[in-house]
């Protein structure tokens, strides 16, 4: 079953590994633009490059500790500055 995600903007927390990484990979394959967020910047930076190469979609890597509200607010601001909206938040 194909998802209708072409051009949608998805924010994925925990995108550096595990379930978050799997979700990011699937959304990339389905054509979504991604904000890849994780406390481990190196892991999401690598995924950003991969996502940008697959289907030539926009992707940004954001280092964020979701336990810190000021960092979460900064993440929000970066996503909205880049994409102007959020369609999917995980």
Q: At residue 4, what are phi and psi to the nearest 5 degrees?
A: -100, 80
CB 64 within 8 A of CB 35: no
Total of domains in the chain: 1
CB 23 within 8 A of CB 12: yes
pTM (2 d.p.):
0.85
Residue ranges of the chain whose pLDDT lies below 50: 1
pLDDT of residue 79: 96
Determine, yes or no, domain membership for 4. no
**Which whole-number Å values give the CA distances from 55 to 30, 37, 44, 88, in the listed order?**
9, 20, 18, 19
Q: At residue 41, what are phi and psi to the nearest 5 degrees?
A: -65, -40
CATH number at residue 80: 3.40.50.720
List the domain range (segments joined by +) for residue 61.
Answer: 9-84
Determine, yes or no, domain membership for 66. yes
pLDDT of residue 86: 97
Determine, yes or no, domain membership for 2. no
Determine, yes or no, domain membership for 1. no
């Amino acid at each position: 079953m194909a998802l209708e995600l072409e051009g949608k903007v998805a924010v994925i927390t925990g995108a550096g590994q595990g379930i978050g990484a799997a979700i990011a990979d699937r959304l990339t394959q389905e054509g979504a633009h991604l904000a890849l967020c994780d406390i481990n910047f190196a892991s999401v930076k690598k995924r950003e490059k991969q996502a940008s190469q697959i289907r030539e979609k926009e992707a940004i890597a954001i280092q964020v500790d979701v336990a810190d509200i000021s960092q979460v607010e900064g993440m929000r601001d970066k996503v909205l500055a880049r994409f102007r909206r959020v369609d999917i938040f995980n």
